[in-house]
Each structure stands twice: as C-alpha cells, then as structure tokens.
Amino acid sequence: MYAGSKRFMDKRLPQNQLPTIVCFLFFVFGLPLTASAQDLSTPPTITTTSQTNTKLPFELLICDYVEFKLARVNTQGEVVWEHKPPGKVWDFVLLENDRIVYPIITDKQEVRCIDFDARVQWSWAYRGECREIVNITRHRSQLIVSGQQPPQAIFLSFDGKIQQRLPIPAKYKHHHGQLGNVYAVAENNYLAQLWGEGTALEIDKNGKEIWRFQIPPYGNRPYPVGTIQDLLRLDNGNTLIACGTQARLLEVTPAGTIVWEFDGSKHPELNFTNACALQKLNDGSILVTNFLRGNSGRGAHAFRLSSQRKITWTFTDHKHFTATSQVWAIQPSQPSGKGLK
C-alpha cells in the first residue's frame, strides 16, 4: 500500500452528490455514448474462475473515458473516492505519496498533479509546446508524457519540471493518435506506441530506430489506425501488445514472430471490445483493461491473465463505470520501475 493511503480508505461518497451523468461525445471515434445515474451504494460484480463475490485482490484506480472521471475502488468493491477533472482525461500515473498525475484536455492543455483531496499540487500548461498530450507513463523517478505535434517523449520530474525531450519518429500526420505510451526499456531504450500507424517502435536514447513491428490486419477491422493501445516488454524479451480495436493481444518476439494470441473468442462473457491498457502485476500476471467504447453495459472492464495465460479474475461494474480506459491495480512500488505505468 502506498504511504498515507489509509487516511481515506474508509471515505464514502454520499449518494446525494451524484446527479445523473450526461456523457460527452467520444472525441476520438465520434460515438454518442450514454451513461445512467450512478449508485455508489451497490458494489460491483467481481468474478473469479470459481466464484462470484465482491472481494477484490487489490485496490483499483480507474479512469472512465466516457464520464471523464477518476475513481478509487477498495478491496470490498466500493468506490471510496471519485474526481471529475474539468476536461477530458484518458490516462494517469499514481505516485507513492498519494499523488495522481494525468494529462487533461482544457483550454490551456495541462498535465496536472492532484492529491486525494482533489487539491492541485502542480500543473504544467503545455499549449505552445505541443498540440496534445493524452498518455503518460513513469520510470523510476521520472514521468514520461507523450507529446503530439511534434511527436516527442517529454521527461518530467515528479514536481513537474521538464528534464529532457526525445523526438519520436512518428509519421501519422494528425495530432490525435500520433504518439501513445512511451516506456523506458533495457538500458536507455524506449518502447513507443504509434497509435495512428498501428506500430510498436523501439528507439535508443538518441531516437534511432532499434526495432519496429506493425500490427497485421485482422478480419474486417479498421486498419492500421487504432490497432495498438498499449504495449509491454516482457521478462523474456518479447513484447506484449494490446491491439486496440482488433480486440486481441499479441506476444511478439524480437524477430517479429507472433508466438501467442488471445482474441476473447473462447470467453464471450468478457465482451472483449478494445484491448487497452496493460499492467504487469507483482506475481507476474497481466491486468488487461477492456475499453468498452460503444459497447458498454455488458462484459468485463478488466481481466487478469496468469503467467500460464489463463483468465483468473475479472472486474465488472456497470453501475459506476461506462468505458474504462485504464483499470490499474494499486500495488507496492518496485524500485526498478517494472510494472509501473
């Protein structure tokens, strides 16, 4: 557990603070989505391979990209904290001192850091620096935000000071989707998600290309835009890719060979719609966020894959969440930065 988190663990949100939420147009895909009023007194449905209950194996921090809100769920399945920023939010990172950092689409275009009392600790207004920032990751004591137009990884200290910029050779022309998550891997290499190109790209510290893999077409799904939403370098040197609108996961070797694939066809209960965020958990399993864009109301918001690639747990809560872009398990931090977004 992160230091200081216990002070708000038993905080509950009064029901009378929850008006009916009218959702916005989903600005990436232009899909009209609707959410009903939320009842935080009713816990979500949590399923495992053997039982259904309301006990979670860990706390969760969740971003809902339809309601544009952040929420924390305790191990009893109760929403104990909720925050609606004044703009669109897709991604976040959680720091050890109970701070959340997230890009937000406002008139100033900002990266904000808040505490769990929703007090702004710092804000970086980046308009003029780049057109848009949607994604953020962290590595050790640095934040990595993904600038678009121009495409660049911007390294920030935990107090919001710019430390470094690294140009990313992305070719997608539109600013939205030019550059997604950027992760530090190996020694001074970086693994980038090129959403608009459907491509995983590894570069060195100077921006030189080291490795590239483009997601292959799949059925009649749109291509290549949106076919990669996240990626994760595995301990065996392979790369796990969340293939976005293709609704599948791929494990790819450095030689570009696909050695494992998961498409959800044998698990219709997932309603696997958009393979979104990936998180490596402390036990070696992978937490996968299922972004239910335009297909909400049924299926799992997230599921856990064991090291044997078996589904061992799912998270489903359609009373409180519509389409989650990130379902994040709160675990003790690891000095190496592995498993940290």
pLDDT per position as a tens digit, 228-278? 999 999 999 999 999 999 999 999 999 999 999 999 999 999 999 999 999
Lowest mean pLDDT among 16-20, 88-92, 143-147, 241-245: 16-20
Of 70, 179, 183, 191, nearest to 133 by C-alpha is 179
CA atoms within 13 A on the CB side of 164: 12
Contacts 24+ apart (CB under 8 A), 271-274: 271/295, 271/298, 271/299, 271/300, 272/247, 272/248, 272/299, 273/247, 273/299, 274/229, 274/244, 274/245, 274/247
pLDDT per position as a tens digit, 130-175? 999 999 999 989 999 999 999 999 999 999 999 999 999 999 988 8
Measured between alpha carbons, how far is residue 19 from residues 37, 64, 187, 230 in Å? Answer: 6, 17, 49, 33
The pLDDT score that the predictor gives to residue 46 is 41
pLDDT at 105 over 60: yes
pLDDT at 7 over 50: no
- At 107, the pLDDT band (50, 70, 90 cuts) reads confident
The pLDDT score that the predictor gives to residue 333 is 65
Segment 304-326 shows an average pLDDT of 97
More confident residue, 177 or 194: 194
pLDDT above 70 covers a percentage of the chain that reads: 82
Segment 98-110 shows an average pLDDT of 94
The pLDDT score that the predictor gives to residue 5 is 37
The pLDDT score that the predictor gives to residue 55 is 87
The pLDDT score that the predictor gives to residue 341 is 61
More confident residue, 57 or 25: 57
CATH number assigned to the domain with residue range 5-329, chosen from the 4 options 2.40.110.10, 2.130.10.10, 3.40.50.2300, 1.10.260.40:
2.130.10.10
The pLDDT score that the predictor gives to residue 54 is 65
Contacts 24+ apart (CB under 8 A), 156-164: 156/111, 156/124, 158/95, 158/99, 158/101, 158/113, 159/113, 159/122, 160/111, 160/113, 160/122, 160/123, 160/124, 162/124
